[in-house]
Structure formats: structure tokens, C-alpha cells
Amino acid sequence: SAVISQKPSRDICQRGTSLTIQCQVDSQVTMMFWYRQQPGQSLTLIATANQGSEATYESGFVIDKFPISRPNLTFSTLTVSNMSPEDSSIYLCSVVLPGQTYEQYFGPGTRLTVT
Amino acid sequence: GESVGLHLPTLSVQEGDNSIINCAYSNSASDYFIWYKQESGKGPQFIIDIRSNMDKRQGQRVTVLLNKTVKHLSLQIAATQPGDSAVYFCAENIGDSSYKLIFGSGTRLLVRP
């Protein structure tokens, strides 16, 4: 397995501002993903964070709203831009380890509330 | 407390009984399935997985059953304990090389003492 940390663990932000969430892994990983989990809902994939290149976004998510960086094999950031109350969610990063199949390990999540 | 699971279907079982959590998946091309457990305030935790070339796989106190004919997945938990109380999600990989998982809607398991 892997130890995955996220910062911040939670935040309360005002609408119109932006928040950058960090995901740090204790070992090099093959794949990194970012998910959103709205209150009482399941997980929805936002994008695949590609090392050294632009992230691959899922339908309904765009780079201008959710810019993602992945400068190396152990770290990624997700920014939630120009926030509105509808962005209030838990944001989770996940990783696939080298040699694994499709099993993903998740960070603890960042709980975002937009007022 | 956290809001995960507030609006999800709930299964309530007596401590010591067996639990069965069901999941329907949509893509007949999916070839890999995972069950995750999510406790309040935490990220999902891997429980057990199964490939499409199998119909049953057992772990410690858990069994996953796969019925490809009706695209149905179930998680059986034996001798359910209070620590099993959580939200459970199934997830599928659609068989491409993207490693992406599609998550089901989830079930909240409550264990009565």
C-alpha cells in the first residue's frame, strides 16, 4: 500500500476565491487521480493527473475550473477556481501503485465548504 | 459529523449476523471490480476485488460474488461487527488501459449492537 496525505484536510472559503489542494504520496506511483464527492453522494472522477503533461479531464470538468499539476511521481495539486457554493464537496486524490492492476488507494480527502 | 452517506440506501443488521450489500453495474465490458469501505471522515479503503473471469472470491470475513449475466455484484460480510459500520461502494474498470474506476452509488451499513 501507500501513505497518501492531503492538505488542507478541510477549509471554508468565500465564493469567488480559489483553493489549491495538495496530494503527497510516500512512494512513486504510476497513476494519480482526483475525485469529487458531493454531500451524500458517490465519487465522481474529475481528472487523471499526468506526470509532466496536462491532466486528462472527464466530461463535465474543465481545466479552467479545476487546474491540476503533477510535477513528479509523488505529488499533485488540484485547484478549485472561482468557487461557488455548488463546489462544496470532499475532494480526494487516489493513486495506482507500480505493478498493481486497477486497485486505487485513496487519500483522506479535503472537505471544502464554500459560503 | 461528515455528510458522506446521508442520502444513501441503508442496510441495518444485527451484530453477528451476515450482511449482503448489492451493486448493479452498467458496462458489460467491465472486467475488474472493487469493493471499497468508507468510514466517516476518511477516504475509501480497499476491501476486495474480483476479475470478470471469476464469479466468487473470498477474503477475511468477506466474499464478493459476480454475476455477469445480470451485471450484478454483491459483497457478503460474515459475522458483522460494529467496526463494519460504514458506506460501501462498488467500483468497476471498463477494461481499457486508463485505470479509471467508475463508482456505484453506495450503501450505508449500520450495525446494531
Least Cα separation, residue B78 to chain A (angstroms) = 23
Instruction: Read off the amino acid at residue A26.
Output: D
Local structure of A85: helix, strand or coil: helix
| Residue type at position B73 | L
Q: What is the mean pLDDT of residues A46-66?
A: 94
pLDDT at B1: 37
| pLDDT band with cut points at 50, 70 and 90 for residue A79 | very high
Interfacial B residues in 41-100 facing A (CB < 8 Å): 41-46, 49, 89, 93, 98-100
Give the separation between CA B18 and CA B104, rounded to whole angstroms.
22
CB contact under 8 A, A4 and B101: no
| C-alpha cell read off for A98 | 507500480
As given in the structure block, the three cell numbers for residue B37 are: 469501505
**Confidence at residue B111, expressed as pLDDT on a 0 to 100 scale:** 97
Least confident among A63-77, A89-103, B72-86: A89-103
Asked if A60 reaches chain B (Cβ–Cβ under 8 Å), the answer is no
Instruction: Find the residue in B nearest to A108 (Cα).
Output: B43
Interface contact A2, partner B, CB < 8 A? no
- Could you list the beta-strand ranges (E) of chain A: 4-7, 10-13, 19-25, 31-37, 43-49, 56-57, 68-72, 75-80, 89-96, 105-106, 110-114
**Cβ–Cβ contact A5 with B under 8 A:** no
pLDDT at B104: 92
Tell me, yes or no, if B102 comes closer than 8 A to chain A by beta carbon.
yes
Q: Give the CA distances from residue B47 to residues A92, B40, B60, in Å, rounded to whole numbers and listed in that order.
A: 18, 16, 9
Question: What is the distance, to the nearest Å, from the Cα of residue A27 to the centroid of all Cα atoms in its chain?
Answer: 17
Which among A57, A55, A44 has a CA at the least distance from the CA of A90?
A: A44
- What is residue A6's predicted lDDT score, i.e. its pLDDT? 98
Give the model's confidence band at A57: pLDDT under 50 very low, under 70 low, under 90 confident, else very high: very high
Mean pLDDT in order along chain B per 10 residues (113 residues): 59 97 91 95 95 95 96 96 96 83 94 94
Helix (H, G, I), strand (E, B) or coil at A86: helix
Q: Residue B43 is nearest to which of A44, A92, A103, comparing CB atoms? A: A92
Quote the pLDDT of residue B68: 93
Q: How far apart are CA B34 and CA B28, in angstroms?
A: 15
**Spatial CB neighbours of A44, under 8 Å, sequence gap ≥ 6:** A35, A36, A37, A38, A58, B103
Query: What is residue B7's predicted lDDT score, i.e. its pLDDT?
Result: 63
pLDDT number for residue B5: 47
Please answer yes or no on whether B103 and A44 come within 8 Å at the CB atom: yes
